[in-house]
């Protein structure tokens, strides 16, 4: 197995160069070249030719090439379908907000969580992404648009905590001062609720924002759309969230996709309100994006209003998510699914 150079910290690269009989500072030269956009070892003219040859025998640089690109005429949101070195594809979305450019990236090719409303999971999990392949989604968008990304959300395809070690390494890499230097406070990680991994994450000491995809106020309803609810009860999930808040002192963000007639009644809102009341949290209500494979409809305007007002009775911080890229199918998994049906 060849070493993936773009998944390494500067210190690891330095160590690797020493192992190949080179001085330490070669590591820094490689790291800098990678972040300047070099994707082929032949482009590293600062390195001696015989070392470049030795490197290519032992290491490689993964790539992500833009296979499709859709630009929203409404708000300038850009959606990419990237092709990876082995021909697999992943999606990422670049969004412009007042507080800066945000990139939504994928952590896996496909997903094995099986949520009924989600397009990314329909064909199961193909493979997890390397740290480099998460980085590339940002680096190649920055290069393509000639703009900087300041915020990252791990809300594309895949379950980040199902690719735990690579995701943690990615977070530390994007945060590296000599790399992209993006603050951890500007990064959100979304999970469907892998309780054991949430406990592990709480111990990492990374000041990211944790988002939890709740989507139902009780076990019975959650099991209807989210298979993970058969493994962990809502109570176990909420308890893990409380432990996370206690340990990190950080607010948790709950995601709740409003599906007409499924989880959007006034009773559902009361149950959810009681569940979250008193927690250091924020609730994001997202009218569900209907996907081809399933006949879920977004909630009516009045239902959303009533749901929000009911939640507010419990003094919970709640917002209805603004939708970007409505004309380019910006919700995750849909572009890749379309592409593979061709
Ligand atoms: N696996 C992670 C992150 C990826 S999905 C997780 O489950 O959190 C990012 C968010 O989009 C999750 O909250 C997910 O439940 C939600 N989502 C997926 N499909 C959706 C759809 N069709 N409409 C609205 N939200 C959706």
Task: Please tell me if the CB atom of residue 159 comes closer than 6 angstroms to any atom of ligand 1.
Answer: yes
Res. 340: pLDDT tops 70: no
Establish how many alpha carbons lie within 13 A of residue 98's alpha carbon, considering only the half-sphere containing its beta carbon.
0
pLDDT of residue 342: 45
Pairing type for strands 100-104 and 108-110 reads unpaired
Burial of 83 (0-12, 13-18, 19+ CB in 10 A): middle
Mean pLDDT of 170-190: 97
Asked if residue 210 has its Cβ within 6 Å of ligand 1, the reply is no
Residue range 24-52: average pLDDT? Answer: 96
pLDDT band at 330 (very low <50, low <70, confident <90, very high): low
pLDDT of residue 329: 72
Q: Return the bridge partners of 271, or none.
A: none
Alpha carbons 283 and 253: distance in angstroms, whole number: 6
Taking only the tens place, the pLDDT of each residue in 92-113 is: 999 998 889 999 999 999 999 9
Tell me, using a 6 A CB cutoff, whether residue 286 lines ligand 1.
yes
Among the atoms of ligand 1, which is closest to the Cα of residue 119? 19
What is the whole-number distance in angstroms between the Cα of residue 112 and the centre of ligand 1? 13
Question: What does the buried/exposed string (b/e) look like for 295-328 if buried means 16 or more CB atoms within 10 Å of the residue's CB?
Answer: ebebbeeebbebbbebbeebebebebeeebbeeb
Q: Assess whether the C-beta atom of 91 lies below 6 angstroms from ligand 1.
A: no
The finding on whether 248 has its CB within 6 A of some atom of ligand 1 is no
Nearest CA to ligand 1 atom 19: 118
Q: Is the per-residue pLDDT at 337 higher than 80? A: no
> Lowest-pLDDT range, 115-119, 188-192, 279-283, 326-330?
326-330
Q: Which ligand 1 atom lies nearest to the CA of residue 211?
A: 8
Hey, which of 129, 155, 198, 296 would you mutate to test ligand 1's pocket, going by the most ligand atoms within 8 Å of its Cβ? 155
Residue corresponding to tokens 């482009």: 43
Q: Whose CA is nearest to atom 12 of ligand 1?
A: 213
> What is residue 294's predicted lDDT score, i.e. its pLDDT?
74
Kindly state the average pLDDT of the residues 170-175: 98
Beta carbon of 198 within 6 Å of any ligand 1 atom? no
pLDDT per position as a tens digit, 136-160: 999 999 999 999 999 999 999 999 9
117 lines ligand 1 (CB under 6 A): yes
pTM assigned to the model: 0.95
User: What is the reported pLDDT for 322?
Assistant: 74
- pLDDT value at 185 more than 70: yes
Protein residue with least CA distance to atom 7, ligand 1: 192
Active site residues: 91, 332
Atom nearest to 212 CA in ligand 1: 8
Per the prediction, the chain carries an average pLDDT of 94
User: What's the rounded Cα separation, in Å, for the pair 254 and 257?
Assistant: 10
C-beta pairs of 17-21 under 8 Å, 24+ apart in sequence: 20/51, 20/54, 20/55, 20/58, 21/54
pLDDT tens figures, 191-205: 999 999 999 999 999
Residue of the CA atom closest to atom 1 of ligand 1? 159
Q: Which residue has the higher pLDDT, 116 or 321?
A: 116
Say what the pLDDT of residue 102 is: 96
Band (333; pLDDT cuts 50, 70, 90) = low
Domains of the chain: 3-60 (1.10.150.530), 64-340 (3.20.20.70)
At 269-299, the pLDDT tens digits run 999 999 999 999 999 999 998 887 778 999 9
Per-residue burial over 113-147, b if 16 or more Cβ lie within 10 Å, else e, is bebbbbbbbbeebbebbbbbbbbbbbbbbbeebee
């Amino acid at each position: 197995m060849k070493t993936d150079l773009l998944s390494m910290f500067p210190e690891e690269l330095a160590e690797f160069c020493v192992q190949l009989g080179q001085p330490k500072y070669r590591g820094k030269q490689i790291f800098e070249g990678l972040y300047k956009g070099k994707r082929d070892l032949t482009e590293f003219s600062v390195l001696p030719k015989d070392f470049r040859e030795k490197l290519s025998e032992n290491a490689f640089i993964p790539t992500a090439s833009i296979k499709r690109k859709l630009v929203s005429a409404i708000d300038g949101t850009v959606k990419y379908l990237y092709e990876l070195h082995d021909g697999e594809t992943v999606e990422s979305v670049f969004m412009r907000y007042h507080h800066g450019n945000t990139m939504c990236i994928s952590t896996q090719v496909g997903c094995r969580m099986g949520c009924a409303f989600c397009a990314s999971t329909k064909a199961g999990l193909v493979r997890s992404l390397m740290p480099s392949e998460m980085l590339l989604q940002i680096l190649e968008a920055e290069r393509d648009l000639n703009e900087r990304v300041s915020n990252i959300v791990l809300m594309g395809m895949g379950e980040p905590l199902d690719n735990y070690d690579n995701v943690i390494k990615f977070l530390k890499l994007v945060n590296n001062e000599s790399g992209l230097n993006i603050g951890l406070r500007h990064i959100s990680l979304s999970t469907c609720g892998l309780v054991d991994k949430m406990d592990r994450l709480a111990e990492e000491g990374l000041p990211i924002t944790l988002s939890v995809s709740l989507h139902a106020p009780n076990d019975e309803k959650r099991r209807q759309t989210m298979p993970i609810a058969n493994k962990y009860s809502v109570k176990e999930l909420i308890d893990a969230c409380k432990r996370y808040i206690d340990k990190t002192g950080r607010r948790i963000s709950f995601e709740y996709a409003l599906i007409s007639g499924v989880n959007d009644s006034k009773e559902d809102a009361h149950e959810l309100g009681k569940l979250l009341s008193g927690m250091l949290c924020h609730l994001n209500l997202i009218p569900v994006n209907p996907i081809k494979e399933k006949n879920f409809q977004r909630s009516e305007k009045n239902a959303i209003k009533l749901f929000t007002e009911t939640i507010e009775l419990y003094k919970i911080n709640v917002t209805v998510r603004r939708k970007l890229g409505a004309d380019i199918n910006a919700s995750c998994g849909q572009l890749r699914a379309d592409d593979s049906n061709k």
